[in-house]
């Protein structure tokens, strides 16, 4: 689940804190364990709103035993090594991260290449065994902005962009976030397969695509939909790409889940040619990074990596 606080007001942070805490309490194996997690959420959201000076993106992923909370903002970064062993009790500042570091099983802060930072923490609660589907609150209007209209009204691109966002949101509201993610991933994999066939025909390529050919295929298909991807590096077991412009435009900042489309397109093509693939969305314009950075791991390198989105050849 992902949210955008823009503008990042205290009221918006309070509402989101209440929503996240209620979600944790409904699905924790013991509701009594939620208090520490709620305090962590409160501290991180409060610090981001108070000090970021710009939009704040929040992601909650409970796909494993414990939930992972990630907060992206454009404020100054901090070094966890500088946290005191014991906070200054006379000061009300600087105590939030110290408290989080004591309550959370895991905490790390990473500076973005541009402005801002990413704070990732694992919350000290566990999920009950049964699955749950809780659609997140949505305050974002996915429809095209009025200033995107031309002399004859809205064109095809803003309409189709809004259609994709609204279909994903409808699936999420009706069947839960897991269903929406599955839908976006399936669409990406299917579209990616057709684009791969077009690349093979254009380049007269047969057999398995090499890592270099995969990279060229990615650039070709993303350029066709107005992305601005470029190759950072290509090796036998991995491809690293950058991107200066998202095909979804500014809409992606209001709906970061659309990044799964890129992941499934890249991962599906790679898995069909190398058996297995993992896609790591290392940096994303959608959460305030200046550019996207995507790593695609191939074959054995994918098999040995527990993170990212995993794909296998289903043919």
Per 3-state DSSP, the chain is made up of helix, strand and coil in percentages (nearest 5) of 45, 20, 35
Fold classified for 2-122: Heat Shock Protein 90 (3.30.565)
**Distance separating alpha carbons of residues 229 and 223, to the nearest angstrom:** 7
Q: Are 117 and 110 in contact (CB under 8 A)?
A: yes
**Distance separating alpha carbons of residues 222 and 244, to the nearest angstrom:** 11
> For the range 225-234, what are the long-range contacts, defined as Cβ-Cβ under 8 Å and sequence gap of 24 or more?
229/292, 232/293
Q: 């804190």: which residue's tokens?
A: 17
**Distance separating alpha carbons of residues 94 and 81, to the nearest angstrom:** 13
> pLDDT of the chain along its 315 residues, tens only?
788 888 888 898 899 999 899 888 888 888 788 999 999 999 999 888 888 778 999 999 887 889 999 999 888 877 776 666 666 555 555 567 788 888 888 888 888 888 888 999 999 998 876 544 444 444 445 455 666 566 766 666 666 666 766 776 676 666 665 666 667 667 777 777 888 888 999 999 889 999 999 999 999 888 877 789 999 999 999 999 999 998 877 777 777 777 888 888 899 899 989 999 999 999 999 888 999 999 999 999 988 888 888 888 865
Domain 177-312 belongs to what architecture? 2-Layer Sandwich (3.30)
Residue among 286, 234, 238 nearest 262 (CA): 286
Q: Which residues of the chain does CATH 3.30.1380.20 include? A: 177-312
Identify the bridge partners of residue 122 per DSSP, sorted by sequence position.
Answer: 68, 106
**Distance separating alpha carbons of residues 184 and 189, to the nearest angstrom:** 9
Q: Is 150 exposed, middle or buried (0-12, 13-18, 19+ CB in 10 A)?
A: exposed
Q: At what angle do helices 211-224 and 259-274 cross, to 10 degrees?
A: 150
Q: Are 43 and 97 in contact (CB under 8 A)?
A: yes
Q: Which residues of the chain does CATH 3.30.565.10 include? A: 2-122
- The pTM of the full predicted model, rounded to 2 decimals, is 0.66
């Amino acid at each position: 689940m992902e949210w955008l606080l823009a503008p990042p007001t205290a009221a918006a942070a309070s509402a989101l804190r209440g929503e996240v805490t209620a979600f944790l309490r409904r699905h924790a194996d013991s509701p009594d364990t939620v208090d520490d997690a709620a305090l962590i959420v409160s501290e991180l959201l409060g610090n981001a709103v108070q000090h970021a000076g710009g939009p704040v993106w929040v992601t909650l992923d409970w796909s494993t035993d414990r939930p992972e909370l990630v907060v992206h903002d454009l404020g100054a970064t901090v070094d966890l090594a500088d946290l005191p062993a014991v906070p200054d009790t006379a000061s009300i500042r600087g105590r939030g991260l110290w408290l989080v570091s004591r309550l959370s099983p895991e905490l790390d802060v990473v500076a973005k290449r541009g402005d801002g930072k990413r704070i990732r923490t694992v919350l000290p609660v566990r999920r009950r065994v049964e699955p749950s589907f809780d659609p997140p609150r949505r305050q974002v209007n996915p429809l095209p902005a009025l200033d995107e209209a031309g002399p004859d009204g809205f064109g095809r691109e803003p309409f189709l962009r809004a259609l994709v966002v609204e279909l994903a949101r409808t699936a999420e509201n009706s069947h839960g976030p897991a269903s929406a993610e599955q839908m976006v991933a399936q669409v990406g994999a299917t579209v990616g397969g057709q684009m791969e066939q077009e690349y093979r025909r254009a380049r007269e390529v047969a057999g398995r695509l090499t890592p270099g050919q995969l990279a060229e295929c990615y650039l070709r298909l993303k350029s066709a939909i107005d992305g601005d991807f470029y190759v950072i590096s290509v090796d036998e077991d991995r491809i690293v790409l950058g991107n200066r412009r998202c095909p979804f435009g500014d809409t992606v900042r209001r709906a970061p889940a659309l990044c799964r489309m890129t992941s499934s397109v890249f991962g599906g093509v790679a898995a069909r040619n190398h058996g297995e693939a993992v896609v790591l969305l290392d940096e994303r314009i959608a959460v305030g990074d200046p550019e996207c950075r995507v790593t695609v791991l191939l074959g054995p390198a994918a098999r040995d990596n527990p993170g990212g989105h995993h794909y296998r050849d289903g043919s």
